[in-house]
A and B are shown apart, each in its own frame.
Chain A
Amino acid sequence: MQHLTESDLQAWIDRELASGDQPRVSGHLEDCAACRRELGELRRVSEVFSAAMHAYDDDLTAATPAVAAVARRPFGILSSSRVGRAAAIFLVAAAAVAAAVVPGSPLREIWEPEAAEPAAIARPGTRPVEEIVSPVGASITIRPREGRLTVRVRDFAPGTRVLVRLSEGSAAVASLPDGAENARFIVASGVLELVGPGNRTAKPDEGEEIEILLPRTLTAAVVEIDGRAVARVTGGKLVSLGPVVRDSVGEAVFDIGG
């Protein structure tokens, strides 16, 4: 039996396999324990990297408090004290002039009073979760509620599957069917930190899969599908509450509309 390649397995994890290859890979994984082990190892190192990066972000942000503030400003160098500041201010001033005099300049919008406060690193207290705009249509949202983390999945097409998995990382992450990642919540040292917009809408598409990673270290978390709690994390364990398609230690798959 010819084993799957690293390329196949990584593409499987990253949902980058060509549709024609999926039956071959999934069929082989069902039969081959060695490839399942390798898949588990690749998932593990992937989580090691993600967790390291999120903790790294946390540490860099904590070590340099200006990061969050600067990141929220368009052309944040305005507040920088670095040597390049004068040149940057000149550039920004020149851009402002251009915005003022050039009809149709895209920069015009940047200088509007309510202009661009990009979604940035924020801590609870500096950005109340109520400010997160509720999405309309098919959506996935991660937010703290009543002392626990709630992941809400709503209005996706029947046939969509939701894979909930415990991770060793420090971030709660939801990946949408289109491969894009929803907001992360970093959970470390008792701090819940939102990175990203907090929610996202998606185009429903039948037969796709949403993946939700929940840190094993969460003290309380719940996953809701269309208003119904289907899983919760407590004491480092994942507990299924709703009808599952597949259920194993630390992992459960749910069907929407099932």
Chain B
Amino acid sequence: MDFQTAYRELHPGLHRFALRLTGDADVADDIVQESFTRLVSQDMPLEEAKSWLYVVAANLVRDRARNRQRRGRLLEATPPMPSMPEAADVRVERLERIARVRRALAELSERDARLLLMREEGFKYAEIAEVLGVKSTSVGALVARALKRFARAYGSEDEVDATPD
């Protein structure tokens, strides 16, 4: 696989992964850009690049959060306002939905958030295990528990929303 092919195949998923982790398109752009830039300088078969890129991207997300001491704010971050005119109620509803997902993701540990997002990108258990430094035989249980935790946090907001005034 040449670099161009690797880029074409891996860019969308890596960008989605970074975007979901950060909730910020500009930050995700920077992280994906930086990850591919680092890949160029690696002496690594491109076939093996996928896992490596996700590790780098996830670490960059973490480093940014730490360096700026704003992890909490990152998780609460709301994206920039769209440039197209949009009804205020539509915009508000969208921002509320985004915040709801981010709050549910914030209920997960960093490892579990990575775990679920990598699974969502189609990584095999063995690949996830290698990236996260866990046993591949543990991945299934970790996935199950993390999914339940996410669903509980995400679903509990429905219950709150459904509470009469």
Chain A residues packing against B (C-beta within 8 Å) = 5-11, 14, 16, 41-42, 44-46, 48-50, 52-53, 55-57, 59-60, 62-67, 70-71, 74-77, 80-82, 84, 88, 91, 95, 106-107, 109-110, 112, 115-121, 179-181, 195-196
Contact = CB atoms under 8 A, between A and B. Distances in A.
Contacts of B95: 63
Q: Is the interface of B mostly helix, strand, loop or mixed?
A: helix
B109 interface: no
Contacts of B139: 16
Given A53-B20, A63-B79, A10 B30 contact: no
A16 B4 contact: no
B140 A16 contact: yes
A55 B98 CA distance: 9
A82 B26 contact: yes
Given A70-B29, A76-B29, A9 B144 contact: yes
B14 to A, nearest CB: 10
Given A14-B119, A110-B7, A42 B147 contact: yes
B104 interface: yes
A80 B29 contact: yes
A8 B140 contact: yes
Interface residues of B, number: 58
A32 to B, nearest CB: 17
Contacts of B124: 16, 179
Interface of B: 2-4, 7-9, 11-12, 15-16, 19-20, 23, 25-26, 28-30, 32-33, 36-37, 40, 46, 79-84, 91, 94-95, 97-98, 101, 104, 116-117, 119-120, 122, 124-125, 137-141, 143-145, 147-148, 150-151, 154-155
Main DSSP-derived SS at the A contact region: helix
